[in-house]
Structure 1
Amino acid sequence: MWRATRHFSFTLALIFCAIGAMAQNQPSGNPIVPGWYADPEAQIFGKTYWVYPTYSDKYNKQVFMDGFSSPDLVHWTKHEHVLDTSNVKWVRRALWAPAVTHKGNKYYLFFGANDIQNDNAVGGIGVAVADKPQGPFKDYLGRPLLGKIINGAQPIDQFVFKDTDGQYYMIYGGWGHCNITKLKNDFNGFEPFSDGTTFKEITPESYVEGPVMFKRKGKYYFMWSEGGWTGPDYRVAYAIGDTPSGPFKRIGVILKQDPAIATGAGHHSVINVPGTDEWYIVYHRRPLGETDGNHRVVCIDKMNFDADGNIQPVKITNEGVIARGIK
């Protein structure tokens, strides 16, 4: 009787171990969070992954931003209204494409707002600040950081890049034009490059919007979105340069629709697991059969490089990624 009981207990333990292993390897699934979201900004603060997307709805309803945190890319916690227009009085609609960075003991959220069409309108790129990554973020300047159209670039889709020398850059632009500028140390304005210019146009072939930059093995990778944001041809391409301002020559597309899975895959960000060469791409796409332009969802998949340092085409999936904690 004792031997039978012991055998049963051992078998039960094996079953629980198997269930635990299966749960640990359970993928994130795509989308990674419920709801209509787009333009995701992905960051790592401490040992936690964060994703800050645009709330995907009609422009007049885009008056707040939510955030999502995860210890492992699989289990996500929603943080409602990390930023909303009650804390930024000059913003009335079209709160777009957050870019979040940590400096000192503060967190800064850069955003596009009001979808300005000329230099007479109030809006453009603003900055909000908080003591914690979940906010609440409050207006930092009381005005737009950038409210003018320079080099033909609509002031939207800003990305904040910190170089290895500690310099922060802002890369931004819609309407098929992209600029790079050096941020002042306190993020209240811009400082000129060594040649005296403050805004350099770095627009590559086929650029539309959504710039992203990261550094890997001494090279600067510049990525952007192409095509129309409401169409199935929305996609991500990239270039590689020796400096943050390039020059950048388009290499090719690495993210696009798969007619069997989803359409309109684009406007992304990337995650590099600290201390490794593991990379993930976080992006939005449109579910199959969905015709509403604002119905977009946030997804994640692996991003790999070949032996020459080129980004390999990303396979978009319904499964997503398996759990990956930060040590």
Structure 2
Amino acid sequence: MKNIFYFLVVISFSKAIAQSDLNQTKNNNPIFKGWYADPEAIIFDKTYWVYPTFSAPYEKQVFFDAFSSKDLVHWTKHEKILDSSAVKWAKKAIWAPSIIKHKNKYFLFFGANDIQNDNEVGGIGVAVASKPEGPYKDYLGKPLVDKFYNGAQPIDQFVFKDKDGQCYLIYGGWRHCNIAKLKPDYTGFIPFEDQTVFKEITPENYVEGPFMFIKNNKYYFMWSEGGWIGPDYCVAYAIADSPMGPFKRIGKILEQDPKIAVGAGHHSIIKIPNSEKYYIVYHRRPLTETHANSRETCMEELHFDENGFIKPVTITNEGVKAQFIK
């Protein structure tokens, strides 16, 4: 009888575990708890990382948390990898982190202070650490970009690494987007052949949140449209043969679903190494929330048609299934 009882207990426990795993994989959006926005997803050493904005009023939005995962489903929180106290010139509103690894160092680019003109202190900064989870410290002691060039507010920075290893800073709010060639040590910029530093590559309807990736030698440029506090926030894209464009808008690929969530936008893309699997990581506002900063980070698989165009993304509560990096 004891053996039968033990067997039944084991079976019952196994079913409970299986059901628990099923529940975990059934609703994976948001991918982690808390109000987080503007997520940049990246892979370091077979580990997924997401660096989001801590979504709060500007006076409280003064630090970054990061999240890591081995399978896209179970996430570990790394608290306060950068605090504005480590950046003397950053007083409020640090957001939209973008990260790149270079010579065993991790360089975290961020916007700070939400400057409204060239006379205010703030803009795009750089922090550095020896581990992806930090802690990060101010790299330059001043902003990397602290002025409005071509009408672009210095926010929403993205670091793009081209096929030849050259890195570019792509950034901009207020409906203007610039690209600039970064120095190898990220301390400044290398002028283009015509001696200009910041070139405008703004596509039609661009508002903010630029992102770029390469697929089949084509440059996919993506951005957010609409107002971030409204339901019309969305993601659109263009394709070109160069990171300089010209980028002609193709159309929207991510937007709200009134049955699921609103305000879907400001995203990033990750590609699973040695595969053709792509994922889009973005933020959205739950239907139960009305506050502008009640944003959560979610993920969906990204698909392409036979011509290389991005298929519209269906936002879900299910999210994505476990995906390990081989």
Normalising by structure 1, we get a TM-score of: 0.94
Tell me the equivalent position of 1:112. Answer: 111
Write out aligned runs for 1:14-33 (5 A): 16=14, 19-20=17-18, 23=21, 26-27=25-26, 29-33=28-32
- Tell me by how many angstroms 1:164 deviates: 1.4
User: How many residues in Structure 1 have an aligned counterpart in Structure 2?
Assistant: 325
Taking structure 1 as reference, are residues 27 and 188 closer, same or farther at Cα in structure 2, changes over 3 Å only?
Answer: farther
3-state SS, counterpart of residue 16 of structure 1: helix
Cα deviation digits, residues 256-294 of structure 1 (max 9, x gap):
000000000000001100111100000000000311111
Structure 2 unaligned blocks of 5 or more: none
Tell me the equivalent position of 2:172. Answer: 173
Tell me the equivalent position of 2:52. Answer: 53
Asked if the contact 2:25–2:318 (Cα under 8 Å) also holds between the matched residues in 1, the reply is: no
3-state SS, counterpart of residue 67 of structure 1: strand
Tell me the equivalent position of 2:64. Answer: 65
Write out aligned runs for 1:119-268 (5 A): 119-268=118-267
Structure 2 counterpart of 1:318, one-letter code:
N
Give yes or no for the alignment of 1:44 onto 2:80: no
Taking structure 1 as reference, are residues 80 and 28 closer, same or farther at Cα in structure 2, changes over 3 Å only?
Answer: farther
Write out aligned runs for 1:71-86 (5 A): 71-86=70-85
Cα deviation digits, residues 94-119 of structure 1 (max 9, x gap):
10100011011100000000001111
- Tell me by how many angstroms 1:28 deviates: 5.7
Structure 1 unaligned blocks of 5 or more: none
- Tell me by how many angstroms 1:129 deviates: 0.1
How far apart, in 1, do the equivalents of 2:244 and 2:195 lie? 14
Stretch deviating more after TM superposition (64-73 or 15-24): 15-24
How far apart, in 2, do the equivalents of 1:10 and 1:324 lie? 32
How far apart, in 2, do the equivalents of 1:21 and 1:189 lie? 53
Stretch deviating more after TM superposition (18-27 or 165-174): 18-27
Cα deviation digits, residues 197-247 of structure 1 (max 9, x gap):
211100000000000000011000000000000000000000000000111
- Tell me by how many angstroms 1:15 deviates: 8.2
How far apart, in 2, do the equivalents of 1:306 and 1:297 lie? 29
3-state SS, counterpart of residue 293 of structure 1: coil
Asked if the contact 2:283–2:298 (Cα under 8 Å) also holds between the matched residues in 1, the reply is: yes
3-state SS, counterpart of residue 224 of structure 1: strand
Taking structure 1 as reference, are residues 70 and 27 closer, same or farther at Cα in structure 2, changes over 3 Å only?
Answer: farther
| Runs of 4+ with deviation above 4 angstroms | 8-15, 17-22
How far apart, in 1, do the equivalents of 2:274 and 2:19 lie? 25
Asked if the contact 1:49–1:70 (Cα under 8 Å) also holds between the matched residues in 2, the reply is: yes
How far apart, in 1, do the equivalents of 2:96 and 2:42 lie? 13
- Tell me by how many angstroms 1:21 deviates: 9.0
3-state SS, counterpart of residue 238 of structure 1: strand
Asked if the contact 1:27–1:323 (Cα under 8 Å) also holds between the matched residues in 2, the reply is: no
Give yes or no for the alignment of 1:94 onto 2:88: no
Asked if the contact 1:28–1:322 (Cα under 8 Å) also holds between the matched residues in 2, the reply is: no
Asked if the contact 2:261–2:284 (Cα under 8 Å) also holds between the matched residues in 1, the reply is: yes
How far apart, in 1, do the equivalents of 2:230 and 2:58 lie? 18
Stretch deviating more after TM superposition (17-26 or 177-186): 17-26
Give yes or no for the alignment of 1:312 onto 2:311: yes
How far apart, in 2, do the equivalents of 1:15 and 1:129 lie? 46
Asked if the contact 1:179–1:199 (Cα under 8 Å) also holds between the matched residues in 2, the reply is: yes
3-state SS, counterpart of residue 60 of structure 1: coil
How far apart, in 2, do the equivalents of 1:82 and 1:262 lie? 29
3-state SS, counterpart of residue 26 of structure 1: helix
Asked if the contact 1:181–1:190 (Cα under 8 Å) also holds between the matched residues in 2, the reply is: yes
Asked if the contact 2:64–2:81 (Cα under 8 Å) also holds between the matched residues in 1, the reply is: yes
Asked if the contact 2:27–2:317 (Cα under 8 Å) also holds between the matched residues in 1, the reply is: no
- Tell me by how many angstroms 1:195 deviates: 2.9
- CA RMSD, Structure 1 to Structure 2 (Å): 2.1
Asked if the contact 1:180–1:200 (Cα under 8 Å) also holds between the matched residues in 2, the reply is: yes
| Identical-residue share of aligned pairs (%) | 66
Structure 2 counterpart of 1:306, one-letter code:
D
- Tell me by how many angstroms 1:9 deviates: 5.5
How far apart, in 1, do the equivalents of 2:277 and 2:38 lie? 22
